Structure 1
Amino acid sequence: MLLLINVILSLWVSCANGQGTCSKSDIEIENGFISESSSIYILNKETQYKCKPGYATADGNSSGSVTCLPNGWSAQPICINSSEKCGPPPPISNGGTISFLLKVYVPQSRVEYQCQSYYELQGSNYVTCSNGEWSEPPRCIYPCIITEENMNKNNIQLKGKSDRKYYAKTGHTIEFMCKLGYNANTSILSFQAVCREGIVEYPRCE
């Protein structure tokens, strides 16, 4: 019983000193308001706020909540112009975002992309939400796939490599040489072929 009285007294003293409480005046919501009439909130008390018409919370709702914590409110509420928010970022072929997608993004949010293995990312890794639209997403450029079948057709092999299948990113140089017993039938320069967005011109030996 004595312990319970001490706990109650401690809580009363804390509240009297302003500890363990949050003030409504500490929340400033541009384009929104606290929907409850209380001015002081005790620890762990949750309160609701609403956005004005035409505005929404960061997750796209018309209202949200904040909680009174020992160090103050759990978050500073935000209400943004509905026309300025963005939906999920655009998908890209042979790649995707590296983070879990949200339904709604606030202005100036950034999302990062990456490509599948061997694909070359062209453009910025990031897109940014601005005025309700995403900036232009990157492209994932096809690699060149050097196959044993195509090399056999041209009587060539990879220079310095024994791979039967070889992947090269766009812009990379692939060096070839004639197979034993064959001579070059195309220019010397053709044996240093450059991968261009999934296409490579093979040299030929006869």
Structure 2
Amino acid sequence: MPNMLLLATVTLTLHISWAHGQEITCDPPRFENGGYTPDRAVYKLEEVITYHCKNGFHPSTRGIKAKCTDKGWEPPPRCSLQPCDLPEIKHGVLYSEDSYRSYFPVSLGQWFYYSCDDGYATPTQKQWYYITCTTGGWSPEIPCHKKCALSHLEHKHFPHKEESYIEGQSIEVDCDPGYSLVNQQSAVMCTENGWDPPPRCIKHCGMPLFENARAIITGKPFKLNDTLDYQCLDGFENRDGKPSGSMVCGEDGWYNLPTCFNPAENCGPPPDISNGDIISIPLAVYPSSSRVEYQCQGYYELRGTKYITCRQGEWSMPPRCEEPCLISEEDMNENNIQLKGKHNTYYAKAGDVIEFTCKSGHSALTSVHSFLALCAEGEMELPRCL
């Protein structure tokens, strides 16, 4: 058993009046070999003092502050020749704590076993550890450290299995391109409240490149669904004919990137073509460099490029839609012919070659080559049989 040294006497007086409207108060604390601030005649409930000890004496290991409570000053201020009170294990317990009560006050070098609650760990992460009384108080100062678990992160293939860390440890987190930790930090730390910042790789967008425009706010990282306002340069406007607009940070980067154009170089609606149309909803105005796509009606064949572009107020040459050929039953009966092989349609697209044969009991009147008929610009020369 450690040497027992006399603890300086502390005299505490608590005034409690249960009369209606009366407050609970504390008398000034009385203890030897030290002083305190502030110095008052009476202290109100929850009021706090800070105390100090003379050279050679030690304050409570629970701190140098005491609060006026309905039970008196907590923790009781004291100045002792011994440096340590019985340890309090935050988030843990002493081994056989009740049996240690006889050790108070604790002598220098005395140590006790302890363990930590679930979710907390000793500095060695072993189930049991020991806490030692030193001239500076109890060591380790933080007996039980918060445990933080890290498992698979989305948008980052690390770690492959759950890993455990304790309070004070930090790790680097390298997110996939286009993703980052909160505020684009590169590391997370295990704290008493868990990971700081949370180990999540979130989508972010950097500052986009602008053409004929400028950002109204610059410099900050943008998270998913954040918006960024922009202003077109003088004399320019966007696709909506307005001098300003907004873009949105999405999963694939910025949506609605600014496209500011000189309105003098805009185009009107794209030209109409026979038996065809553009595949997008037509607009009243198209900025320079805009492109639209055409398609033809069924059985009509598109000739030329299907895209046209607006350049300096003019559209490039649109495509055309060539007519199909109609093969009627009446025409085939008149020429004593029928479709051959797998052909089972009476329509042929421009450029298609359709093979015919004579009906039973009839012989060819035209050359053998004429029975392979080409559809060209809606016309097809049919073979004939007698």
Provide the TM-score with structure 1 as the length reference: 0.68
Residue aligning to 1:202: 382
Using the TM superposition, give the Cα deviation of residue 60 of structure 1 relative to its aligned residue in structure 2, in angstroms: 2.5
Return the match for 2:212 from 15, 27, 30.
30
Using the TM superposition, give the Cα deviation of residue 79 of structure 1 relative to its aligned residue in structure 2, in angstroms: 3.5
Letter in 2 for 1:177: T
Provide the C-alpha distance between the structure 2 equivalents of 1:33 and 1:46, rounded to a whole number of angstroms. 7
Structure 1 runs (4+) deviating above 4 angstroms are 26-29, 31-34, 44-51, 73-78
Provide the C-alpha distance between the structure 2 equivalents of 1:79 and 1:184, rounded to a whole number of angstroms. 67
Query: Deviations along 1:1-42, whole A, 9 cap, x unmatched?
Result: xxxxxxxxxxxxxxxxxxxxxxxxx997738997xxx99xxx
Provide the C-alpha distance between the structure 2 equivalents of 1:68 and 1:176, rounded to a whole number of angstroms. 60
Q: Equivalent residue of 1:57, what SS?
A: coil
Letter in 2 for 1:111: V
Residue aligning to 2:362: 182
Residue aligning to 2:300: 119
Provide the C-alpha distance between the structure 2 equivalents of 1:198 and 1:84, rounded to a whole number of angstroms. 38
Query: Deviations along 1:27-75, whole A, 9 cap, x unmatched?
Result: 97738997xxx99xxxx8997857645x4322234x3343798xxx986
Q: Equivalent residue of 1:176, what SS?
A: strand
Return the match for 2:281 from 96, 100, 115.
100
**Judging changes above 3 Å, is the alpha-carbon distance between structure 1 residues 139 and 65 closer, same or farther for their aligned structure 2 residues?**
same
1:1-206 matches, cutoff 5 A: 30=212, 49=231, 52-53=234-235, 55-61=236-242, 63-66=243-246, 77-161=258-342, 163=344, 165-206=345-386
Q: How many residues align?
A: 174
Q: Equivalent residue of 1:118, what SS?
A: coil
**Judging changes above 3 Å, is the alpha-carbon distance between structure 1 residues 79 and 151 closer, same or farther for their aligned structure 2 residues?**
same
Using the TM superposition, give the Cα deviation of residue 85 of structure 1 relative to its aligned residue in structure 2, in angstroms: 1.3
Percentage identity across aligned positions?
A: 51
Using the TM superposition, give the Cα deviation of residue 118 of structure 1 relative to its aligned residue in structure 2, in angstroms: 1.1
Residue aligning to 1:13: none
Does the aligned pair in 1 maintain the 2:364–2:384 contact within 8 Å? yes
Query: RMSD of the alignment, in Å?
Result: 3.5
Provide the C-alpha distance between the structure 2 equivalents of 1:182 and 1:67, rounded to a whole number of angstroms. 72
Which segment drifts farther, 193-202 or 80-89?
Answer: 80-89
Residue aligning to 1:6: none
Q: Equivalent residue of 2:327, what SS?
A: strand
Provide the C-alpha distance between the structure 2 equivalents of 1:75 and 1:178, rounded to a whole number of angstroms. 62
Using the TM superposition, give the Cα deviation of residue 156 of structure 1 relative to its aligned residue in structure 2, in angstroms: 0.6
Q: What 5-or-longer segments of structure 2 have no aligned partner?
A: 1-207, 219-225
Provide the C-alpha distance between the structure 2 equivalents of 1:90 and 1:82, rounded to a whole number of angstroms. 19
Rg larger in 1 or in 2? 2
Q: Equivalent residue of 1:80, what SS?
A: coil
Q: Equivalent residue of 1:202, what SS?
A: coil
Provide the C-alpha distance between the structure 2 equivalents of 1:178 and 1:81, rounded to a whole number of angstroms. 65
Provide the C-alpha distance between the structure 1 equivalents of 2:259 and 2:365, rounded to a whole number of angstroms. 69
Using the TM superposition, give the Cα deviation of residue 76 of structure 1 relative to its aligned residue in structure 2, in angstroms: 5.8
Letter in 2 for 1:174: I
From the two aligned structures, give the one with the greater helix fraction. 1
Q: What 5-or-longer segments of structure 1 have no aligned partner?
A: 1-25
Does the aligned pair in 2 maintain the 1:85–1:104 contact within 8 Å? yes
Provide the C-alpha distance between the structure 1 equivalents of 2:211 and 2:363, rounded to a whole number of angstroms. 78
Does the aligned pair in 1 maintain the 2:247–2:257 contact within 8 Å? no
Provide the TM-score with structure 2 as the length reference: 0.39
Q: Equivalent residue of 2:330, what SS?
A: helix
